[in-house]
Amino acid sequence: MTQSLQDNARDRRRFFRIDDAVRFAYRPLTAAELEAGVARLNEGMGGAYALMASLAAISQRVSVSLRRIEHQNAEVAHYLKALDQKIDTVARTLLVQGSDLAAKRAEPVNLSAGGLAIPVREGLDPGTPVEVRLLLLPSLAGILAYGAVVECGAPSEQSGFPDGSRVMRIDFTHIRDEDRDLLIRHMLRRQGEHLRRQREAADEDGD
């Protein structure tokens, strides 16, 4: 793939958006807090959030090798999958136990690889740096990212956001590649589920 085609593919992934429901939290940061947080993130010190995305990236890289092993020795492949599930279970437990998001209810959001729009009661001023934590469902995969508020205004009637809320749009300014890939895979799965439900509904109507 040429560089221009690669750039176009990245742009499409960045601006591809879905409506979803996730558990999330955000907090405004000072410039010093943003700098310190980004430094920790770049050093792989994002805690359980960074761990989840790193494990998902590793699983993605070895998936082809695992399929080859499965063709050659199903018993070994089964054992490796069980190990992967055990590690994944431990990581999810660490994330849930160490996060206040586990007790939160899922709320509607509009997601893209480049940012998100969330319902808020009181918005922040445009340009405000923020820390964003997401708990994707149903996988319980966590993402930690840093961004900046783009705008805050009234939701559209079709948005699905709660009555009386405002919509705050945040662009990611610092997100690890592993986290962005994890988010993109989640979005593609959710879109696939939505299209499947649409097809099933259309088939039922056609009967």
Instruction: State yes or no: pLDDT of 79 exceeds 70.
Output: yes
Residue 123 sits in a domain whose CATH number is 2.40.10.220
Asked whether residue 55 is domain-assigned, the answer is no
Q: What is the mean pLDDT of residues 182-193?
A: 90
Q: What is the mean pLDDT of residues 36-65?
A: 76
Asked whether residue 86 is domain-assigned, the answer is no
Positive or negative torsion for Cα 52, 194, 102, 180: positive
pLDDT band for position 132 (cuts 50, 70, 90): very high
Range of the domain at 24: 19-47+104-206
Question: Which one is predicted more confidently, 170 or 8?
Answer: 170
Asked whether residue 122 is domain-assigned, the answer is yes
Query: Is 77 buried (19+), middle (13-18) or exposed (0-12) by CB count in 10 A?
Result: middle
Instruction: State yes or no: pLDDT of 6 exceeds 50.
Output: no
Residue 47's contacts (CB-CB under 8 Å, 6 or more residues apart) are 98, 144
Most distant CA pair in the chain, distance: 61
173 vs 179: CA distance, rounded Å = 13
SS3 72: helix
Asked whether residue 23 is domain-assigned, the answer is yes
Q: What is the mean pLDDT of residues 67-94?
A: 82
Asked whether residue 90 is domain-assigned, the answer is no
Instruction: State yes or no: pLDDT of 5 exceeds 50.
Output: no
Asked whether residue 165 is domain-assigned, the answer is yes
Asked whether residue 2 is domain-assigned, the answer is no
Q: Are 145 and 132 in contact (CB under 8 A)?
A: yes
Residue 124's contacts (CB-CB under 8 Å, 6 or more residues apart) are 28, 130, 149, 152, 168
pLDDT tens-digit series, residues 172-186: 999 988 889 889 989
Asked whether residue 119 is domain-assigned, the answer is yes
The domain total for the chain is 1
Dihedrals φ, ψ of 27, to 5°? -150, 140
The whole-angstrom distance between residue 18's C-alpha and the CA centroid of its chain comes to 11
pLDDT band for position 8 (cuts 50, 70, 90): very low
Entry pTM:
0.74
